[in-house]
Amino acid sequence: MLPNDMQDLVNLRHLDVRNTGLKEMPRGLGKLKNLQFLSDFVVGKEQGINIGELGAMKNLKGWVAINKLENVKNGNEAYEARMTEKKHIKDLTLSWSKDDGVDDTRYRGTAFPDWLGSPRYHNVTWFRLDNCKNCCMLPPLGQLPALRRLYIEGLESIEKIGEEFLKAGVPKLRIIDRWMWKCGVGGKEKELPASLRKLEITGCRMLESMSEALSKHLRLQELGIWECSNTSHQMIHLPPSLQRLTIHICPNVNFVLSSTAPLQNLQSIAIQLRCNFVKFMSDDMEHLLPNLKDLWITLCQEMEAFPEGILVPNVNCFPEGFSLPATLTTLQLSNFRYLETLDCTGLEHLTSLQQLNVRGCPKLEKMSGEKLPYSLRELRISGLSIVGRKLPQGG
């Protein structure tokens, strides 16, 4: 608790109560009209301090977090906070309590206030909506002229994203993180913003619904696929503009990556954390991935032996039965629990390879073949029984 006579500090400019576990604000806090920085504001219950106390604080700058919004009784009370007049706030956090037992007669955030997407906030570049489970309608964020990054996750009650959200601004987005894609935009066919450059998708159902939109996109440069575990097979149509692909925490899912043409721009592939099966449609990897430079395979302990054409090779002997793209400049193998042999013969054709890192492969005992690539500048082998043995000669 803060002192009850805080209101007498009329010249106070800075009040930082971060990480204090503050349960409520003292009465009369709105009299601190000269306050320029307020880290947190806790909305009170019943006779406690209400959100309207923020109305007189016209000079607030920087950031502010408004907590326990379930205690706001109605829209009129929220309007008294006069948030549209606080033009110097750069970072605003609005949060409801996680307690599901909150009285349903109170305001629980089923819709956002109109000011949240007001074009007056012409400096807003980053916006996040997270776990607002009761909200059934998004604010008109398309009216924010400088918006470049949008993060939406856990808004379970939203069934439609309409034109009131899009307006004119959202095709200007460069990054959309973990987009909640349950339905069409404005009732139309599912489409991604034309100027979108980076996209992260969480969950298999979203990936299934967006597969066609991905294949048609002409400007997407980075694609991340996270936490897919609900199905045994996924066909992913990669756009030709793609430069970087990340597949992260996708156990028990078979990824088949396809493309109607060589992926001329794809330079980096990262497969990380419990990803067991990833396959390209083509056996001719050098034709499909002519400019691949970085390949990262990390913490994929449960991989089994695969036939030719699979991106991830036989886990016992690397890279037996599979030809890596000759354009690779960096190759890292991490935490292959059952890897026993590193076949240098299969690496000789990597004439651009400069870095080879091997770590966390406890059963690796030998390196077969006569030579490593002459282009190799850095070789790191850590935590292995092979250390100290004679290595194949290279450049």
- What is the arithmetic mean of pLDDT over 245-261? 77
Burial class (CB in 10 A: 0-12, 13-18, 19+), 99: exposed
Rounded (10°) CA dihedral 334, 253, 347, 349? -140
Q: Would 197 be classed as within a structural domain?
A: no
- What is the arithmetic mean of pLDDT over 147-163? 71
Task: pLDDT band for 180, please (50, 70, 90 cuts).
Answer: low
Q: Would 230 be classed as within a structural domain?
A: no
pLDDT digits (tens, 9 = 90+) for 267-324: 998 888 777 677 776 666 667 788 888 888 777 666 554 445 556 565 688 877 666 7
**Domains held by the chain: number:** 2
Of 40, 60, 87, the position where a domain reaches its end is: 87
Sign of CA dihedral 380, 381, 383, 387: negative
Residue 339 has pLDDT above 80, yes or no: yes
CA gap 229, 67 in Å, rounded: 34
Q: Would 163 be classed as within a structural domain?
A: no
Which segments of the chain does DSSP mark as H helices, in order? 75-79, 163-166, 204-216, 285-288
Of 87, 106, 130, the position where a domain reaches its end is: 87
- What is the arithmetic mean of pLDDT over 138-164? 73
Q: Would 333 be classed as within a structural domain?
A: yes
Regarding predicted confidence, which is higher, 347 or 200?
Answer: 347
Of 52, 87, 122, the position where a domain reaches its end is: 87
**AA letter at 387:** V
Structure tokens at 86: 């606080």
Q: Count of CB atoms within 10 A of residue 178's CB?
A: 21
Q: Would 370 be classed as within a structural domain?
A: yes
Q: Would 304 be classed as within a structural domain?
A: no
Which of 84-88, 135-139, 326-330 is predicted with the least confidence, judged by mean pLDDT?
135-139
Instruction: Of 19-33, 106-120, 225-239, 329-343, give the range with the top mean pLDDT.
Output: 19-33
Do residues 364 and 388 lie in contact, with contact meaning Cβ atoms separated by under 8 Å? no
Place of tokens 């606080």: 86
SS3 116: helix
Regarding predicted confidence, which is higher, 42 or 46?
Answer: 42
Q: DSSP letter string over 342-368? A: EEGGGGTT-TT--EEEEES-TT--EEE
Give which of 88, 87, 138 is closest to 117, Cα–Cα. Answer: 138
Do residues 230 and 207 lie in contact, with contact meaning Cβ atoms separated by under 8 Å? no
pLDDT digits (tens, 9 = 90+) for 362-380: 888 888 887 888 899 998 8
- What is the arithmetic mean of pLDDT over 16-45? 90
Q: What pLDDT score was predicted for residue 190?
A: 52
Regarding predicted confidence, which is higher, 64 or 161?
Answer: 64
Q: What pLDDT score was predicted for residue 344?
A: 86
Q: What pLDDT score was predicted for residue 375?
A: 92
Q: What pLDDT score was predicted for residue 16?
A: 93
Q: Would 225 be classed as within a structural domain?
A: no
Domain encompassing residue 373: 316-395
- What is the arithmetic mean of pLDDT over 39-62? 88
Q: Would 231 be classed as within a structural domain?
A: no
Do residues 143 and 169 lie in contact, with contact meaning Cβ atoms separated by under 8 Å? yes
Please name the residues in contact with 144: beta carbons below 8 A apart, sequence gap of 6 or more. 117, 119, 121, 122, 124, 127, 169
- What is the arithmetic mean of pLDDT over 19-39? 90
CA gap 15, 40 in Å, rounded: 9
